[in-house]
Amino acid sequence: MRSQSIRSNSFRKFLYISPFMVLLAVFSYYPLYGWVYAFFDYTPPIPLSQSPFVGFKWFHSLVENQVKIDQLLQVIKNTFGISGLGILFSWLPMIFAIFLTEIKAVRFRKFIQTVTTLPNFISWVLVYSLAFSMFSSEGMVNGFLHMTGLSDSPVLFLQSSDHVWLTMWFWATWKTLGWSAILYIAAIMGIDESLYEAAYVDGATRMQVIRHVVLPSMMPTYFVLLMLQIASFLNNGLEQYFVFQNAFNKDTMQVLDLYVYNLAMGGGSYSVSVAISMLKSLISVVLLFSVNGLSKLLRGEGIV
């Protein structure tokens, strides 16, 4: 009798959250059904039900001739280049946090923290607008170069296809560095007081304290974040690259996400872009499980 009432009560609790679970199913799980488009010859407005089934035709078509192979390779190269740079410099937020907490002047420290987290809260469109105002041919930087006589003709920063990976990495870092450092600051605040005291008593210099006390305590946090970053290696996101892309830099700008968008929305090849999306997701899942396994091996616990 009593156990039954408890059981019905627990089911009622589930009923309360069920509408939200439905929403989640619709917006997060149902789109997976869209993967079937990759196996049909889908051209709007003909509905999917009347499109011919083509099996793996689109997957083959990605590598059917040299031109397509070259294009796909270039896109993969861009993705690897930009994500690779991100991983190469993944220690930056940690160092940023360590030296920020070293600053004695409280006001200065708070000011730096406030100012450097700000860019995280503006959209990529706004970042592009700022970039445009600074670096376009009639922007501040070129105005400055012109006024000081450093250069006669405007430097075309945004239209160049050179160093695109670096500039994209720079903007992404500019936007997120201060914000990413917050997690590390939290970790630094969690360090056991007695470790510091012991180091002071032993007469350690500040650098030695950082090397032997702070850095080792940061490692678990750094490791987890690095693993997550590796798991999303192929997901650069669309917005940043979409707003910065133009006819001049398209070749080196197109990462997988942007390529998929351009194929479908620009070229109308829905089926091919779904095929690429699908491969991308599958590889991402494999990456996630791999880093999770690696984490279990090294730390004894997974990250997911």
Partner 1 sequence: MSDNQTGLTPISRDINISKKTIKMQVSATDKIISTIVYILFSLFAFICVYPFYSIIINTISANDLSARGEIIFWPKGIHFQNYVDVFKIPGLGNAFVISLGRTVIGTLLTVGASAFLGFMFAQEDMWGKKFWYRFTIITMFFNAGIIPWYLTMRTLHLTDNFLAYILPSVVAPFFIILVKTFVEATPKELQQAASIDGAGIFTIFYKIILPISKPILATVAIFSAVNQWNSFQDTLLLVTDSKLYSLQFILYNYINQASSLSTMVNLQNAGSTAMATLATKQTSTSIRMTVTIIVVAPILLVYPIFQRFFVKGIIIGAVKG
203-242: contacts with partner 1 (CB under 8 A): 203-207, 209, 214, 231, 238-239, 242
Cis peptide, bond prior to residue 44, ω within 30 of zero: no
When binding is defined by CB under 8 A, the residue of 82, 168, 172, 187 that contacts partner 1 is 187
Q: Which residues contact 261 (CB under 8 A, 6 or more apart)?
A: 238, 242, 273
Cα–Cα nearest to 299, from 226, 192, 210 = 226
Cα–Cα nearest to 118, from 180, 179, 181 = 179
Pick the piece of the chain touching partner 1 (CB under 8 A) from 19-27, 53-61, 80-88, 160-168: 19-27
- Does 118 interact with partner 1 (rule: CB under 8 A)? yes
Q: Which of residues 38-97 bind partner 1 (CB under 8 A)?
A: none
- Does 139 interact with partner 1 (rule: CB under 8 A)? yes
Q: How far is the CB of 189 from partner 1 (least distance, A)?
A: 4
Other C-beta atoms closer than 10 Å to the C-beta of 168 total: 23
- Does 182 interact with partner 1 (rule: CB under 8 A)? yes
Contact 215, 98 (CB under 8 A): yes
Task: Say if residue 303 is exposed, middle or buried (CB neighbours under 10 Å; 0-12, 13-18, 19+).
Answer: middle
Q: Measuring CA to CA, how many Å separate 77 from each of 82, 85, 113, 230, 239?
A: 9, 12, 35, 16, 19
Site string for partner 1, 158-177 (x = CB under 8 A): ----------------x--x
Name which of 76 and 182 has its Cβ closer to partner 1. 182
- Does 99 interact with partner 1 (rule: CB under 8 A)? yes
Contact 158, 135 (CB under 8 A): yes
Q: How far is the CB of 125 from partner 1 (least distance, A)?
A: 5
The CA-CA-CA angle for residues 10, 13, 16, to 5°, reads 160
Pick the piece of the chain touching partner 1 (CB under 8 A) from 15-23, 56-64, 68-76, 81-89: 15-23
- Does 102 interact with partner 1 (rule: CB under 8 A)? yes
Nearest-angstrom CA–CA distance, 49 and 46: 8
Q: How far is the CB of 266 from partner 1 (least distance, A)?
A: 12
Q: How far is the CB of 66 from partner 1 (least distance, A)?
A: 26
Q: Which of residues 250-289 bind partner 1 (CB under 8 A)?
A: 257, 260-261, 264-265, 270, 273-274, 277-278, 280-281, 284-285, 288
